[in-house]
Structures are given as C-alpha cells and as structure tokens.
Structure 1
C-alpha cells in the first residue's frame, strides 16, 4: 500500500465510529496509510436536500427507518465487539471537534490520537464533544497542546469546515464514512471489505501483465 486512502468522517456518525474501530484494530486495515478528512454530515445532508449548507438540522429518516437505524447500530457494534454507549443528550455539536482536527491537519500536526480520543469520548463515554472541557481532555490525552482550540473554534475555521464539506459533496461524497482510493468512492463502514478487495485487485498484476513484464 503506497497511496493514502482518504476517509471522510464526522464524529457524530455511529458508522464512522464503527469504521474507525475496525481500522484501528484490524491489522490488515491499520497497516494502510489513512488520510482523515473531517466533514460535516449536516452540511452534506443539507446540500442533498437543496438547503443552505448551515440550515437547521432536519432528521432525514422516516420513523421506520430511524427505528431500524438505531437497532442496526447496536447490532453492528455487538458484531464487531465495539463498545457503544447512547450518545450524550442533547445532541452534541461535533463542529468544534471537527474544526480542531481540521486545523491540526492544516498545520501538519499528527493527530490520529486526537481522533481516537474524540471517538472514544463520544461513543464509549457519553461525553459532550462540543464542549471545551472535553476537547481539552482529548488534546491532553493525545499529547497535544490545548492552544489548538483557540484558532480551531474561530468562525474562520468553521467556514473552512463548511468549504471542505461542500468540496467533498461536489466530488461525490454524500455521507460518512466514505473512503476514496485511486479516485473510487466507497460509502459506508460495511464497504471496508470491498475496499480491501479492490485494492488487492489493483495491486496484483494480471497473468498477461506479469508475463509481459518478465518477458
């Protein structure tokens, strides 16, 4: 594996959490080079519905699908052995954490451990990742300075998060988690196996190609 795989995520997505869980714990996945790209699922949903990027949140799921969605998350977590606690209520605002991740990436600061801490805080410990206290704890646990919060939560950085989300939507990203490898998009935590299959296909020369190269 040489080229990095882009993974578009929002901390608020339970399926992004489950994808993160697999990537961190399965050797075949953790050995790949991942490039984590924060986007706002709210912005993506608004763009799909023809609304302004920062329009108020509207639940896109009808009641039967919402019921299945919640049951499927619990079932998927049990299947994968991933700890899962009901999210903090009221609904946490993931934007501050996403902005911190975006700013760290822009500054070239390795921050995979920060991503780990935020996912754990929200989905394992029911912490409100929209608060400064929780973000400070995540940065400290990741051995990063909390000064990153100051620039990250500014209106300018939030605008950059919206811009990155819009750019992702324009290239075909409509939900999270989404993985992009060699220009091909795979959507959903359950597509990690298909992604692995595709990458293996692309890295294994065909019989004809091998014969030509050795001839």
Structure 2
C-alpha cells in the first residue's frame, strides 16, 4: 500500500532543504511505501498573513539581531548534524529569487516535481547555483524528465496568482511555515519532526 504525505515547502527555507535531503537519504524505516506529494508555497505570503498584512504586501523582516545570529548558527549546526552538504552562494539575507522555481514546481507533478524540487534545493543550498536563471531552471526541468517549455509558462501572472491562492488556503488549513508535512489530518512542522512522522505512520500501519 502507498500512502500520500503532503509536503509543503519553499526553496528559500534551509530547513525545507534539510527535510528534502533527509527524505531522499534517511529511509526512516517506514513500514509502507510513501509518496511525498509536493505542495510548493510562498513563505513570504504565509509570514504576511501571520502579521495581518495582505498576502503580497512587501515582506518585513521582524527577526531581532540575537535571533538572526542564532538562526545562522543553527542552520550550520543542523547541516552538520544531518550530514547535509551546505554551501550557499550568498550572504544572508541576500539570495536568488526563488519565485520562478516555485511557480515551475506548481506546474509539475509526481516524480517530475520531486526530482525538480530536489535539484533546485541542491542547486540553491549546496551547488552555489543561481536558481533564478532561466537556463538553470530549464536544465533542472529537463533533468526531472519534464518539458523545459514550462519555464516560460511560469512567467504567466496567473500561475503566480494560483500559487498565492493555494498558499493562503494552506495557511487557512494550519500550515504556518516550511517544511510542513500533513498525513492523516495531522500536521508535522520542521525537518526535526520527520522521525515523529515516520513513527506515526508506522504506528498507524501496525494498528491497521
């Protein structure tokens, strides 16, 4: 039997990258086959909604300096803890624009979306690639077995609007950050909750 686990992510989240890497490499001892169904979302939209702003209002960074310093140290520490390759090509908070890649991901499905997702995560957080470059995006789509023409389709404002609406819907349904996993109506937030998620899945399989 195959079960679906909804996987909410934004490429700009290093923790979503860690989770994607763990899903690909950890195994977790799952007692059943899992389809990790990609659900790309705009994290800025979610953060705006949390603060009572309109979805596409200009993002305001509310992190205080001590929390920012902690976050940077924690990302490096967690990369070492999980054994995840980590070498971003920029200094925080400057980073390549992830929106085109998210729009492309929203147009893909199944194995194609999964491979594209992992390729972009690796490119952004390890391989020091500019994931806003159309040539790199076309290469990633082709590697995933998709049609590179989808890169041009992602420029359609309607694609961005549709993804915004899905992000608002996800927030309404309890998704407040990335990565978030939803299985059997339960929400599991963070790369560090994947083991708990696997335990829950296996417990459910044993009870069934």
TM-score of the superposed pair, with normalisation by structure 2: 0.91
1:109 and 1:124, CA in 2 relative to 1: closer, same or farther beyond 3 A? closer
Cα 1:28/1:86, change in 2 over 3 Å: same
> More displaced, 124-133 or 10-19?
124-133
Q: Structure 2 CA distance, aligned partners of 1:41 and 1:48? A: 11
Q: Which residues of 2 match residues 1-215 of structure 1 at below 5 A?
A: 2-28=2-28, 31-88=33-90, 90-105=94-109, 110-205=112-207
Tell me how far 1:133 sits from its aligned partner: 2.0
The separation in 1 between residues aligned to 2:90 and 2:138, in whole angstroms, is 18
Residue number in structure 2 paired with 1:210: none
Question: TM-score under structure 1 normalisation?
Answer: 0.89
Q: Count residues with an aligned counterpart.
A: 204
Q: d(CA) in 2 for partners of 1:12 and 1:87?
A: 13
What are the superposed Cα offsets for residues 4-23 of structure 1, whole Å, 9 maximum, x if unpaired?
A: 00010001100000000100
Cα distance in 1 between the residues matched to 2:174 and 2:100? 24
Alpha-carbon displacement from aligned partner over 1:50-94 (angstroms, at most 9, x marks no partner):
011111122132111111111111001011111101343632221
Report runs of 4+ in structure 1 exceeding 4 Å deviation.
none
Native 8 Å contact 1:6 1:179 kept in 2:
yes
Residue equivalent to 1:209? none
Structure 2: which 5+ runs fail to align?
none
**Cα displacement (A) at 1:29:** 6.6
1:2 Cα deviation after fit:
3.0
User: Could you report, residue by residue, the CA deviation over 1:17-66 in whole angstroms, capped at 9, with x for unpaired residues?
Assistant: 00001000012378522101000100000000001111112213211111
Return the structure number with greater relative CO, CA threshold 8 A, min gap 6.
2
Which deviates the most, 79-88 or 114-123?
A: 79-88
Q: What is the SS of the residue equivalent to 1:185? A: strand
Paired residues of 1:17 and 1:123 also in contact (CA < 8 A): yes
